[in-house]
Amino acid sequence: MSRSGGLDLHFRDVVCRHGRLEAVAGVDLSVGAGERIALTGTNGSGKTTLLRAVLGLHRQVDGQILVGGRGSRTAAEWAWRRRACAWIPQRPAAGRFPLLARELLASSGAPAAAGEAAGRLGVGELADRPLSSLSGGQLQRMHLARAVGCVAAGAGVLLADEPTAALDFEGQEEAAEVLTSLPVTVVVVTHDRAMAARCDRTLEMAAGRLREVR
């Protein structure tokens, strides 16, 4: 199933290492533009490493990763890739500096859209608070809102690493609804069945390898 607005993703024989440990062991995967993929699997099976490799946050990578048909050999290609991919990290950090929530939202490139999403996600009132003063769930909602802003600013892919893990039940529903209704390609690492059910395909990772389960 594909919708307009997203970029396709291709992984060709992707291997990721942490030192001598092979965390991703030869992944081949094509994700169509606008498709939504749920990535599940046991702890430590390589899901986070694979998503971080797309963004250049993990660098010990062999094989090829293409986003919208583009590789990542030059600094300019990496800069394009980071704008093309909205990212929700697994453990959002408040950062070392006293960053305000409003500044995080503005860093999406579309502060108005991110602010509006923060309102929908119930954290609009917290925009003037330092991120370090937010609860885990509030911080995760702020990162979700930032990702919505990134999409409004032109990102064509959303990579999300357990974006609902810190949320209460109602928040999980709201977040799943917000994320899966964005007009982009989505790859979401999740252990949340409701989120997986909203996706077009579910892939399972085990010991660095992928298999399709739905």
Ligand X SMILES: Nc1ncnc2c1ncn2[C@@H]1O[C@H](COP(=O)(O)OP(=O)(O)OP(=O)(O)O)[C@@H](O)[C@H]1O
Q: Which residues of this protein are in contact with ligand X, per CB under 6 A? A: 18, 21, 23, 41, 43-49
Residues 153/110, Cβ–Cβ less than 8 Å: yes
Full DSSP string of 185-196? EEEEE---HHHH
Q: Which of 42, 107 has the CB closer to ligand X?
A: 42
Q: Which of 41, 156 has the CB closer to ligand X?
A: 41
As given in the structure block, the two tokens for residue 197 are 């059910």
What span, in angstroms and rounded, lies between the C-alpha atoms of 134 and 6?
32
Which DSSP category does 130 fall into?
Answer: B
Residues 84/156, Cβ–Cβ less than 8 Å: yes
Residues 150/110, Cβ–Cβ less than 8 Å: yes
Q: Which of 19, 69 has the CB closer to ligand X?
A: 19
Smallest distance from the beta carbon of 18 to ligand X, in angstroms?
A: 3
Smallest distance from the beta carbon of 88 to ligand X, in angstroms?
A: 13
Smallest distance from the beta carbon of 45 to ligand X, in angstroms?
A: 4
35 HSE (CA, 13 A, CB side)? 17
Q: Which of 45, 138 has the CB closer to ligand X?
A: 45
Smallest distance from the beta carbon of 146 to ligand X, in angstroms?
A: 21
